[in-house]
Structure formats: structure tokens, C-alpha cells
Amino acid sequence: MTLTQINKAGLDELALDHVFTIGASGSDHYTFQGEGLNGTVNDPTLYLTRGKTYRFENGTGAHAIRIQSADDGTSGTLYNTGVTNNNTTGTVIVEVQHDAPDVLYYQCASHANMKGIIYVTGALADGGVTTAKLANQAVNASKIADGTITDSKLAGSTITSASIANTTILRGKMANNSVGTTEIMDDAVTQAKIAAGAVNTPEIATNAVNSDKLANNSVGALQLQSLAVTSNKITSGAINNTHIGTGAINGDRLTDETVTLAKLPHGDGSSDGKFLRANNGADPSFETVSIPAGTTINGNSDHRIVTATGTANTLQGESTFTHNPSTFDTTILHSTNTSNDLIIQNDSTGTAAGARFTLQSGSNANTGPQEQFIVGSHSWLRQVPKSSGNMTLAKNGVTHTTFDANGHISISDGNLNISTSGHGIDFSATANAGNSATMQNELLDDYEEGLWVPTISAGSCTFYSHQWYTKIGRVVTAYFYMYAFSDTSSSTHVRIGGLPYANDNARESSFSVTTGGNPSLGSGSTGVYGRIGVTGTTTQISFYRGFATTTANLTHAELNSGHYYATFQYITNA
């Protein structure tokens, strides 16, 4: 991090409350200057306040200062929470957190004697409020800001009835799940302590309310908001008759599905197999529900899906469409020589008339959603593993293609085949060249490697080893090596034919040729170079001698016993 020097006016912008200027007295002491210190003090004990920011300006040029959570030497445990540039020779900034420990330490990274204590004061740390800290009736509504009481701020058994003024506890004063079993002493909560409607579901931690925590008749209708009591807020056996005021529980005090099956009448032997029926204001009764007489299910068998037939009182059990509740498998199976289709079709003309096939696995499933395709002995599997977020394709159990969560495609076994000529990888999404350049093509449509057989313009020669070529898109890169010429006396212009691809006439190419052996290039020659496309032919290389101010054809008479070789490139239309 780069620190920029600022002046006094800049301190407000950086929200720094205090600045300490640090020097050194040899290797035995830090020296401190700053607010709260009388002049220059060796290794002073410092008092920092929670919620404040302090700047330790280390002017020693050395003696890296470390803020540590323990007094355990020059390589002790660093305290980095809210600390910027810890363990550096520069400026260290400490933003004191509200949950910072009561004691920290500063320590030189190189000298054990250069150290001191930092006491953290101000706001209380988590669990700092205990019964001993509160006078009787000390806590009332005006003393508590909305949402400030959380579980971590209260020590166990902190709150007693004597500590809470009447009607002090309001919903706005408590964070969600702030009141747990350990925070409430037995019999501490009475009706007088709870304002009407103060207690709702978010204010009560799971299983916080048990019988020991409630004084007799402490819960009345005024103390409960509608739907405040849910089953997970009350421990087993917590509420008995002595805790509930007369008429306190009515319909709007219970959340949906609060009454379980165990709370409903169980009936007896005479009602076995019957249904509980509502009776229009009267008590419910057990009744028998029967299929109307005359209804027939044809093809009835285990796990078959039943469909309508178009005939009154007649249903059909489908042998080809089954659902097994034991394995959770649904199967559509037939053996006729026709296509077997699962069709999801939306015939609406509206703009939102989509159709969707969704596969969703359990949130903890290791495999994730899968699609499997089987033809004979071949099996293809498309899968989205839960852990990686990728989609994979596998054949016969072997993964070969992965589409990762960032849009990348990896092929671990196989090739990317582009089977139609003129197609390839389109780079049109990338930026085009600038300045005077004009983009003409952004499709990479070919790659090829091979060998080619050059031909000499007169006589014969030896082409050494393999004459190779590589084609990437329209760029051809090739190699030749020729020597031992039979014609070393004629004035024929030296050319090589047989290029693996024809040159694009609109694009000439040239390249330098390396020479060896004993060429006869003439006095003042700077070397040999080749040109493609200069003669009007598309499959030849023409060779020239270079001089300081001119060029000349390379003839067979000048080849002598030289060796000529080069790796060159040119552009093709293919």
C-alpha cells in the first residue's frame, strides 16, 4: 500500500483521531511523542479507545513496529484486525475495533527491549456487561438504542428482574435472536417487564424460553404479538398452565402449522382408517371416504400411473408409465417401433410463453443434476457437479469435455473438429487494429502441417533433409535447404517452385537467405534474399543479390558450391 504524506487538514478526510510520532533510543527503546504524552517518552504505556483511529508514524527508518496480541517477542502473534501496514518500518494505522481485546502490545521486529503495552478502553467488548455492572432499575428504554442488544453483548445470567425497569423491553431495542437461555435468570421475565407487543419471533433465539425463565402468569395476551410463538421458540415441557394467562392463546397468536398431528384427536378402534371431517361450526368427526360405486380401474397394478379414458367411471392403469415411490423412479417405457417423446409445449402467443425442463438435485448432493443418454452399449452423461460449478460430458463413464463456470471449454480426451470448410474460430469480439490498419478477416479457419518438394529453375540440386511447412489460417511458414547444384554456369535466374500453397497475388513477401559453403555473389554483395509474388507466378520463390544501393538477379553462375537455406512466410488465398 502506498502512503501519501498529508497535512493537518487532510486528517479529517482520513478520519484519524490521534497521531503518535515514533523515534528510537538506540536499540533499547522506542521514543513516542503525541497527545497524552509529556514530551518524548521511552516505551510508554498507551491507552487507545474503541471506535477511534490512530496513526503511528515511524520516523526511525528502521525498527519495524509490530502490533501483537501477546507479549511474546519479536516474532510473536500479530494482531491485524483493523491494522494497516502492520510489521513495517513505515506508518502503521490502527482502527480500534469494538471487539478488540482489552490489552495489545507494540514490539520492534528486531530488538526485544523496544516494546510497550496498549490498553484498549471505551466501548465494552462482547460479554462485558455483567450483573455487577448494573444497578437496580438501571436499564430502561431511554438507555438502549434500537437493535443494540445482541446475544454476544450479554454475559450469562446478566439480566435479572431487579435490573430492568417496568416496560423497558421493546422490540426496537433487541436484535434478532438476542435473548437466549443463558442471558435470562430464572423467573426474571414478568408481565410488568414486557411492553405490549414487544416480543415477536425474531427477538427470541431457538429454545430460549423454558419453564425456569417464566414467572407464573408472565405471558398474557398483551405480551404476545400475532403469530409470535412458533414451535422452535419453546423447549419441550417449557409451558404449563401456571405460565399462561387466561385467554392468552387464541387463533391469531399461533403461526401457520403450529398445531401438529400429535395435538389432534387420535380416535379409537371404531375410527381406525377414517378421515377427520370439519362439521360447519360443530366439533370435527371421523368419517369414512369411499370411491363412488361403479368406478373401474382397468389394468390396475403397483406403481402404474392412472389416467382418464373418456368413459364415465372408468380409469386406466398405464403399464408403460409407472412411478415407484420406493426408488423415486418415474419410467415411460414401450417396445413398439415408434418414437418415444416427452413433450413440454407452450402454445400461448404471449411474450412470456416459454417452456422449461428443470433438473434440480438436493442442496447437499455430491453429483449434481445429470442427463444420461444410452444407445446400445454407448452411454453419454451430462452432469453439473455441485462442488465445482462446471458442466461435464462423459462417454461410458470417462469425462472428456468440461464447460466451467467462467465460460471456458476443456477437452481432456478428443479433438475439436470443424467439419465444414470456411468455418473456424471467430475472433470478431476482440478489438481491431488501429492507426492506418484496416481489418479484413477475423476467422481462424485452418491449421495444417506437412512436407513439400521444391523444384530448382535449371538443372538439379540436393534439398537437404525434410522441407517442411505449417499453415495457420492463411499464413504459410515453410523451410528449404539446397546445395550441390548441377548448373553453376548459366545466366538463368535462380527460382524455386512447388510451394505448398499458392501465394496471394495481392500480397508480396520477402525474406533473407542464409548462405554457406562457397557462393560466388560478387564484390560488394550484402547477401541473398527471396521474394514471393514478384514475378507474377504464385508458386515460386525468386532469388536476388543485395548491394548497397541496388539489387541484381541471383543466377546459376553465381551459385557455385554454396549452400542456401531459409525459414520463410507468405500469405495464401486458400
Tell me what the pLDDT averaged over the chain comes to: 81
Instruction: Extract the C-alpha cell encoding 58.
Output: 515511524
Confidence band (pLDDT; 50, 70, 90) for 267? confident
Q: Give pLDDT, residue 534.
A: 84
Q: Give pLDDT, residue 9.
A: 45
Percentage of the chain lying above the pLDDT 70 cut:
72
In this structure, how many other beta carbons lie within 10 angstroms of the beta carbon of residue 190? 17
Q: Which of 572, 566, 571, 538 is nearest to 478 (CA)?
A: 566
SS3 176: coil
Averaged pLDDT, 161-165? 62
Q: Give pLDDT, residue 303.
A: 86
Q: Which of 411, 414, 490 is nearest to 458 (CA)?
A: 490
Q: Which residues contact 260 (CB under 8 A, 6 or more apart)?
A: 231
Output DSSP code: residue 10.
Answer: H
Is the pLDDT at 15 greater than 50, yes or no? no
Is the pLDDT at 238 greater than 80, yes or no? no
SS3 65: strand
Weakest mean pLDDT among 100-114, 142-156, 254-268, 529-543 = 142-156
Q: Give pLDDT, residue 386.
A: 64
Cα separations in angstroms, 148 against 38, 175, 285: 38, 6, 51
Confidence band (pLDDT; 50, 70, 90) for 13? very low
* Cα–Cα distance for residue pair 40/25, rounded to 1 Å: 11
Averaged pLDDT, 354-366? 82
Averaged pLDDT, 235-254? 68
Is the pLDDT at 96 greater than 90, yes or no? yes
Confidence band (pLDDT; 50, 70, 90) for 371? confident
Contact 332, 340 (CB under 8 A): yes
For cell 511474546, name the residue: 72
Q: Which helix (H) or strand (E) holds 11?
A: helix 8-14
Higher pLDDT, 507 or 128: 507
Beta strands in 73-184 (DSSP E): 83-84, 92-95, 103-108, 115-121
* Cα–Cα distance for residue pair 197/199, rounded to 1 Å: 6
SS3 163: helix
Is the pLDDT at 559 greater than 80, yes or no? yes
Note the pLDDT tens digit of each residue in 316-352. Answer: 888 888 889 898 888 888 788 888 888 888 899 999 8
Task: Report the C-alpha dihedral over residues 471, 472, 473, 475, rounded to 10 degrees.
Answer: -60
Task: Report the C-alpha dihedral over residues 65, 71, 77, 81, rounded to 10 degrees.
Answer: -70
Q: Which CATH number fits domain 8-121: 3.90.1660.10, 2.60.40.10, 2.60.40.420, 1.10.530.10?
A: 2.60.40.420
Q: Which of 450, 481, 451 is nearest to 463 (CA)?
A: 481
Residue spans per domain, the chain: 8-121, 126-256, 370-411, 447-571
Higher pLDDT, 7 or 398: 398
* Cα–Cα distance for residue pair 458/488, rounded to 1 Å: 9
Q: Which residues contact 1 (CB under 8 A, 6 or more apart)?
A: 84, 85
Higher pLDDT, 494 or 260: 494
For cell 410488568, name the residue: 192
Q: Give pLDDT, residue 88.
A: 93
Q: Give pLDDT, residue 110.
A: 92
SS3 349: coil
Note the pLDDT tens digit of each residue in 412-470. Answer: 888 888 888 878 788 888 888 888 888 878 888 899 999 999 999 999 999 998 899 99
Instruction: Extract the C-alpha cell encoding 335.
Output: 417396445
In this structure, how many other beta carbons lie within 10 angstroms of the beta carbon of residue 137? 12
Is the pLDDT at 361 greater than 60, yes or no? yes
Q: Which helix (H) or strand (E) holds 472?
A: strand 468-472
Is the pLDDT at 32 greater than 80, yes or no? yes
Percentage of the chain lying above the pLDDT 90 cut:
36
Output DSSP code: residue 418.
Answer: -
Cα 57 to chain centroid distance, Å, stands at: 38
Task: Name beta bridge partners: 117.
Answer: 105
